[in-house]
Amino acid sequence: MVSSSFLKHPIPVGGEPRHVKSVTNMLIARGHKVALTIDDQHLSSASMPGLDATFSPTLLFPRLVNKAFPIDLAVYVAFWRFLRSWRPDIVHLHACLDFSLVPIIVAARAGVPVVVTVHSSWPVCFRHGLCYNEDGSCVERFSRRICSACLAYGRRIENKRRVPIAVMSVILLGAWWARRRVFRHVGRFIVPSAIVGRRIRDAGISTEQISAIPYDLPTDDFSVRSWVARPGGEGVRLLCVGRLEPGKGVQYLLHALREVCAVHPDLNLTLTVVGDGSFRPELEQLTASLDLRGAVRFIGAQLRSRLPDLYADTDLVVIPSLSEALPYVALEAGTIGVPVVATHVGGIPEIFGNDAIIVPPMDATALARGILAVLSDRDAANTRAARARERFRTNYGCDTMVNRIETVYAELRDSKTQIAHRPRSDSEAAFTRSVDPKRHR
């Protein structure tokens, strides 16, 4: 059994590469041979012990062209040769943008089953990953329409060329038609949450092709410990962990912090922001303009091995994201048992239920109210966090996730067709009902 994946970065700093690394290590530990297919030459078999092979194709067309119509001829030839020489049992993709349609086409031609893990809600708005308005101003971001304006804008930014929006619309419509045909060859789409499953179903993916397997919490470089409330009188400490990009919503958290400080100036409140990214200069400038420089610390990206200490030294974790599938910071905070205030995006409401304060995204006032709700009733917040800790440690372990992934592999490998038509378990049936409620009324 073999998993072959596209990985965009050699260092697992985001959710997708971290998940790929975790799954790869677990499969290797269980005796499977794994080849990793990447688009970065820096990752080698030596950097991830146990890898049987790594393959880094070279793009023939510019990256933006491949985003619009991701079938690169050079990658096609290279992947076909690699597939014939390595002969995998399963091709497992973790990125269906860029040139990742090529492995689906090649694997279908070779008769190898394909599994795709969806780490975002990409087909709902075709250009997910191309959006240049991740601050929430793009009205098409959560619609089913194809946003050709965003791609035309990106074409001007990256390639210094102007393409009429009407022409880009025709290109994208043709590309989406091609994608839909290619996706028929995918045996199973694995989604981390029901909301992502519903979005790809609404984009035209059959419910029978969708399986829900939540992420695990990798513990190889993350020490799981139980959070203990800090003694009073030392001020209030908030923690935000994530890449500093507009879509992570830290700008709304800063405005919310200003509102909290205005209501309770005596709180001695401190926000620690862990992470780095292209949006950091704007966030630091916003911090200064809101007169929060004494209350906010930007400490940059940190090793995961240091995160447990940061969680232990906080009173509240805030997740202000505008869009997520299932963020690892939510799994980390829930497993450790820290009180959480988070936005109602992706799988966050599904995994926390009533065990966290959930507020609307892009709403600084609602975020401020959520923070104040936790600070005004610490006992209730600690009780919610303790319930979340017990549930997370039971439901989001590596073994549980990889067992379910192996089950999908075995079903597709042993079936004559790509989609395994079989009786579903109770948990999968419940997920199917959540993805397609009208069908199961």
Domain count, the chain: 2
128 and 263 both lie in a single domain = no
Q: Across residues 96-116, what is the average pLDDT?
A: 79
Instruction: Determine the average pLDDT of the residues in 64-87.
Output: 72
Chain-centre distance for alpha carbon 229:
29
Same domain, 44 and 180: yes
**Cα–Cα nearest to 52, from 112, 117, 1:** 1
Read off the pLDDT of each residue in 247-258 and give the average, rounded to a whole number: 94
Q: Are 334 and 275 in the same domain?
A: yes
Confidence of residue 162 (pLDDT cuts 50, 70, 90): low
Q: Are residues 198 and 257 in the same domain?
A: no
- Predicted confidence (pLDDT) at residue 63 exceeds the cutoff of 70: no
pTM score above 0.85: no
Cα dist from 402 to 23, 24, 173, whole Å? 7, 10, 36
Q: Per-residue pLDDT for 134 more than 50?
A: no
Any domain includes 4: no
Assess if residue 226 is contained within a domain: no
Average pLDDT, the chain: 78
Give the domain range for residue 337: 236-395
- The average pLDDT across 119-135 equals 45
CATH for 24: 3.40.50.2000
**88 and 208 within one domain:** yes
Please check whether residue 319 lies inside any domain of the structure.
yes
176 and 249 in one domain? no
Query: What pLDDT, on a 0 to 100 scale, did the predictor assign at position 309?
Result: 94
State whether 97 and 124 are in the same domain.
yes
Q: Is residue 2 part of a domain?
A: no
Could you identify the residue written with the tokens 């400038």?
285
| Paired tokens of 206 | 């059959």
Euclidean distance between CA atoms 151 and 2, whole angstroms: 35
d(CA 298, CA 212): 35
- First-to-last C-alpha distance (Å) of the chain: 38
Looking at the structure, tell me whether residues 204 and 350 fall in a common domain. Answer: no
Structure tokens at 332: 């980390």
Spatial separation of the C-alpha atoms in residues 328 and 264, rounded to whole Å: 31
Residues 266 and 292 in one domain: yes
Q: Give the Cα separation of 77 and 105 in Å (integer).
A: 11
| pLDDT number for residue 133 | 44
